[in-house]
């Protein structure tokens, strides 16, 4: 596999061409941002852990019938994926109230939602990723109705699968963000699944084991990422 031209330098990952036109190489960095890019820092070793955890989650999902862009992990920080036509949406699923939902609905952090909630955000740095509903998405032609239905179906399946898998490791899945892309008329799960884009709490102590430790300056950031890797893969 030849690592080709840099196609895109993101906030947490870089994306390179490969010698296969249908595949890309994703390089996981230690860079972390929060507050719409206002806060920047380095989480030592994060790229290595997020690459391993994403590989782990994508494989677990595949075993349970959920397809993703994942092809193979080829290095500590490098993963080969199928090249997709990305949909400019962030699909968030929530089980327990945290983060922006606390402010938006005035609910207490940690409140169990009676049903999982799905939300869509427009992936636009300039606009600060505003929340959209289905009508905005169709009006902006970001996705068709059947694509939205497919994404929602996969998002809820991922929620059930990951929630059960994590519960067995004494971790509650509070919420998470997914991204999708198109390939041959199908909508496919993409990007990463890691403590950067999920909230994980210890089931007993409710200790935060995710990027909120960085966002909220709680300390023990690297340790939280290591703990998640240990619980899931060791
Ligand atoms: P951001 O763009 O928010 O700074 P990252 O640093 O994570 O995010 O950059 C990774 C980029 O790669 C994202 O824009 C994401 O949408 C894109 N991406 C993820 N998976 C694929 C894929 N399979 N094909 C094409 N692009 C992808
Ligand atoms: P929120 O509570 O800040 O809206 O975040 C909900 C979930 O989505 C949480 O697990 C973190 C994740 N997320 C991202 O991965 N990227 C983002 O840009 C935002 C705002 C949230």
Q: Which residues sit opposite 85 in a β-bridge?
A: 182
68 and 103 co-located in one domain = no
18 and 74 co-located in one domain = yes
Which structure tokens are listed for 24?
Answer: 């890309």
Mean pLDDT, rounded, for 51-66: 98
40 and 102 co-located in one domain = no
Instruction: Report how many domains make up the chain.
Output: 2
pLDDT digits (tens, 9 = 90+) for 78-121: 999 999 999 999 999 999 999 999 999 999 999 999 999 999 99
Q: How far, in Å, is the centroid of ligand 1 from the Cα of 98? A: 24
Mean pLDDT, rounded, for 61-65: 98
Q: What does the alpha-carbon distance between residue 192 and residue 66 come to, in Å, rounded to a whole number?
A: 14
Q: How far, in Å, is the centroid of ligand 2 from the Cα of 134? A: 19
Assess if residue 233 is contained within a domain: no
| Domain range enclosing 203 | 85-221
pLDDT digits (tens, 9 = 90+) for 177-220: 999 999 999 999 999 999 999 999 999 999 999 999 999 999 99
Split at pLDDT 50, 70, 90, the class of 1 is confident
> What is the average pLDDT value for the chain, to the nearest integer?
97
**What pLDDT is stored for residue 2 in this prediction?**
87
121 and 95 co-located in one domain = yes
For residue 67, give the CATH number of its domain: 3.30.200.20
How, if at all, do strands 70-73 and 31-34 pair? unpaired
Mean pLDDT, rounded, for 137-165: 98
Which atom from ligand 2 is nearest to the alpha carbon of 98? 2
Which structure tokens are listed for 160?
Answer: 């059930």
Q: What does the alpha-carbon distance between residue 144 and residue 48 come to, in Å, rounded to a whole number?
A: 35
Please choose, from the candidates 215, 147, 146, 132, the residue with its C-alpha nearest in 3D space to the C-alpha of residue 181. Answer: 147
Q: Which residues sit opposite 27 in a β-bridge?
A: 14, 78
pLDDT digits (tens, 9 = 90+) for 5-49: 999 999 999 999 999 999 999 999 999 999 888 999 999 999 999
Q: Whose CA is nearest to atom 8 of ligand 2?
A: 177
Q: What does the alpha-carbon distance between residue 55 and residue 35 come to, in Å, rounded to a whole number?
A: 27
Task: Establish whether residue 90 lines the binding site of ligand 1, counting it when its CB lies within 6 angstroms of any ligand atom.
Answer: no
Assess if residue 228 is contained within a domain: no
Q: Which residues sit opposite 35 in a β-bridge?
A: none
């Amino acid at each position: 596999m030849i690592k080709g031209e840099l196609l895109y330098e993101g906030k947490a990952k870089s994306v390179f061409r490969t010698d296969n036109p249908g595949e890309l190489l994703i390089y996981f960095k230690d860079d972390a941002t929060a507050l719409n890019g206002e806060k920047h820092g380095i989480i030592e070793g994060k790229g290595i852990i997020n690459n391993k955890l994403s590989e782990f989650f994508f494989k677990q999902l595949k075993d349970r019938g959920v397809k993703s862009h994942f092809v193979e992990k080829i290095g500590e920080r490098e993963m080969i994926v199928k090249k997709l036509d990305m949909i400019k949406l962030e699909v968030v699923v929530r089980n327990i109230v945290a983060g922006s939902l606390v402010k938006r609905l005035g609910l207490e952090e940690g409140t169990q939602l009676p049903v999982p909630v799905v939300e869509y955000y427009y992936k636009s740095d300039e606009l600060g990723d505003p929340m959209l509903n289905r009508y905005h998405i169709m009006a902006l032609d970001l996705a068709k109705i059947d694509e939205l239905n497919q994404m929602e179906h996969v998002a809820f399946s991922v929620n059930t699968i990951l929630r059960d898998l994590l519960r067995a490791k004494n971790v509650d899945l509070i919420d998470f963000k997914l991204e999708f892309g198109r390939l041959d008329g199908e909508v496919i799960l993409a990007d990463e699944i890691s403590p950067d884009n999920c909230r994980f709490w210890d089931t007993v102590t409710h200790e935060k084991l995710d990027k909120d430790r960085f966002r909220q300056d709680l300390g023990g950031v690297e340790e939280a990422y290591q703990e998640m890797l240990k619980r899931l893969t060791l």
